[in-house]
Amino acid sequence: MTTIGVIGAGAIGSAFARAAASKGISVILSNSRGPASLAERVRELGPLVKAGTREEAAAQPIVLVAVNWSKLPAALAGLPDFAGRIVIDANNPIEAPLFKGVDLQGRTSSAVFSELVPGARVVKAFNHLQPQLICADPGREGGRRVLFVSGDDPQARETVGGLINRLGFFGIDLGMLDVGARLVQFPGGPLPALNLVRFV
């Protein structure tokens, strides 16, 4: 697995970085304040996690974006066209601290997100579990914790599914974004926050 870029060093972005590093995957972690602000965070996450700029994170073959909804446009503004690279949408259309849902006029949050990442093959994943479950051992309950994945590009969906499996989770493919992203969207979808485990 190549280096993964992460835009957003909050709870979800940091949990993903920790999970990836625990499986030997290098991560470039970025935020709006610049690499220097992440020095303590990357020391805590270990040697496979490096602080970088938004541009460095966005240049990786796979990029995970996890940013507060209202800050997404600014976080992604000015980045070059993603030119077919995979961008994982791990965002939820809510506003902290009240966690009030944003009115998307009937659209999925992934449809809105896709407009902010031109040229990307968008895959929805890692948004529906609490951060502490993303970085915890996915097998500690005796099975494999479930993560859902959806996207319009089958190859991109398969690649992210492979990443999910490498992290130790059991990936369930929900198909196209218009269906899958709606199922895992928080608030509104039926699947967020469900801690499902597959037992063999």
Residues with Cβ within 8 Å of 52's Cβ and at least 6 positions away in sequence, in order, are 5, 28, 29, 30, 35
The domain ranges of the chain are: 4-198
pLDDT of residue 106: 85
pLDDT of residue 104: 86
In the chain, the N- to C-terminal Cα span, in Å, equals 26
Sign of CA dihedral 131, 134, 135, 140: positive
Assess contact for 149 and 160: CB atoms under 8 A.
yes
* Count of Cβ atoms closer than 10 Å to residue 78 Cβ: 7
Residue range 4-198 forms a domain whose CATH class is alpha beta
Q: What is the pLDDT along the chain (200 residues), one digit of tens a residue?
A: 689 999 999 999 999 999 999 999 999 999 999 999 999 999 999 999 999 999 999 999 999 999 999 999 999 999 999 999 999 999 999 877 777 888 888 899 999 999 999 999 999 999 999 999 999 999 988 899 999 999 999 999 999 999 999 999 999 999 999 999 999 988 888 898 788 999 97
**Of 2, 13, 24, nearest in space to 89 by CA:** 13
Residue 160 phi/psi, 5-degree rounding, is -70, -35
Q: Where does the chain have alpha helices with state H?
A: 11-22, 39-45, 54-58, 72-76, 109-114, 131-134, 154-166, 177-184
pLDDT of residue 50: 98
User: Based on the number of CB atoms within 10 Å of its own CB, is 140 exposed (0-12), middle (13-18) or buried (19 or more)?
Assistant: exposed
Q: How far is CA 144 from the centre of its chain?
A: 19
